[in-house]
Structure 1
Amino acid sequence: MAKSKLLSMHNVGIVVESLDEAISFFTELGLKLEGRGNVEGEWAGRVTGLGAQKVEIAMMVTPDGHSRLELSRFLTPSTISDHRNAPVNALGYLRVMFNVENIDEMVTRLSKHGAQLVGEVVQYEDVYRLCYIRGIEGILIGLAEEIGNK
């Protein structure tokens, strides 16, 4: 029997309070809303271990179609903890990083949606310009502009 292998990463899940605001923010970043709906029922509770649940989700996809964010808003059960403003050295989920064309312009655009630089935009050798921002609801996002091939 052949050994099972990883095929691809399907999505990263992020729980939010306002699905509409999160969709707006990630649309400004350049992702496209692929679909939106509710997830509920006995099967869903078995997957998550939460039992009875009702979750509103939105699937956002990157322009290349290869990466997705699943934004979730729990209707039941309610959320029980909040890690959104954890520092970058906290254990667990850290951030999602996106490649962008013009990091300065992107930071300016996202700041109009409440995003704030965590530190500053820095250059790593002659390869990337990088930064972390706190986006909608304090979610940590990384931005990377490739400069080595320009």
Structure 2
Amino acid sequence: MDNVAVVVDDLDAAIAFFTDLGLALGGRSSIEGPWADDTVGLHGLRSEIAMMRTPDGHSQVELTKYHAPAALSGEPENPPPNTLGLHRIMFTVDDIDDTIARLRVHGAELLGTVAQYETFYRLCYLRGPAGIIVALAEQIG
């Protein structure tokens, strides 16, 4: 897999969120033109993307801000974790409490609590940019 894309309304804020999660900005670019229209299937497409690399360098999150046509808001806003379709990205972190504290500065909110799965992991779900669910896992055993 090359990347997972997240459509956001504030690209700079999303970059800051994922940077504090531990990802690195790999590049930022404007996307437009006939090739973009043909690829995405939207006429007059004009967007800006930021590629955020995971610390291991094996995966990326593509943050996309659509300028034209304007991004559409899905219904319902902030769907629960059991909604059909792609809705969650999970990251392994070294210190889940520290990570949550850094992400709260960007408006992240826990959906439940930090739970422990047997003697192996501490886990949580939180709401991130554009309402997506970001799951965190800290290996403890």
TM-score by length of 1: 0.89
Tell me which amino acid in the other structure corresponds to 1:130: L
Kindly report the root-mean-square deviation, in angstroms, between the aligned alpha carbons of the 2 structures: 1.2
Rounded Cα–Cα distance in structure 1 between residues aligned with 2:11 and 2:87: 20
* Structure 1 runs (4+) greater than 6 angstroms displaced: none
* Residue in structure 2 matching 1:98, options 91, 102, 113: 91
Structure 2 regions of 5+ residues with no counterpart? Answer: none
Q: Does residue 117 of structure 1 match 2:96?
A: no
Q: For residue 110 of structure 1, report the CA deviation from its aligned partner.
A: 1.1
* Residue in structure 2 matching 1:24, options 1, 16, 39: 16
Tell me what 1:144 maps to: 137
Structural mapping, 1:1-150, within 5 Å: 9-82=1-74, 85-148=78-141
Rounded Cα–Cα distance in structure 2 between residues aligned with 1:100 and 1:72: 24
Rounded Cα–Cα distance in structure 1 between residues aligned with 2:41 and 2:66: 14
Deviations 1:74-119 (A, max 9, x none): 0111112335511111111120000000111111121122111000
Tell me which amino acid in the other structure corresponds to 1:133: L
Matched positions, count: 140
Tell me which amino acid in the other structure corresponds to 2:95: N
Q: Which has the higher contact order (CA 8 A, sep 6+)?
A: 2
Rounded Cα–Cα distance in structure 1 between residues aligned with 2:103 and 2:47: 27
TM-score by length of 2: 0.94
Deviations 1:45-91 (A, max 9, x none): 11111122011000000111111000000011111233551111111
Provide the secondary structure at the position in 1 that maps to 2:2.
Answer: coil
Rounded Cα–Cα distance in structure 2 between residues aligned with 1:138 and 1:47: 26
Structure 1 regions of 5+ residues with no counterpart? Answer: 1-8
Give the structure with higher Rg (CA).
1
Rounded Cα–Cα distance in structure 2 between residues aligned with 1:62 and 1:100: 11
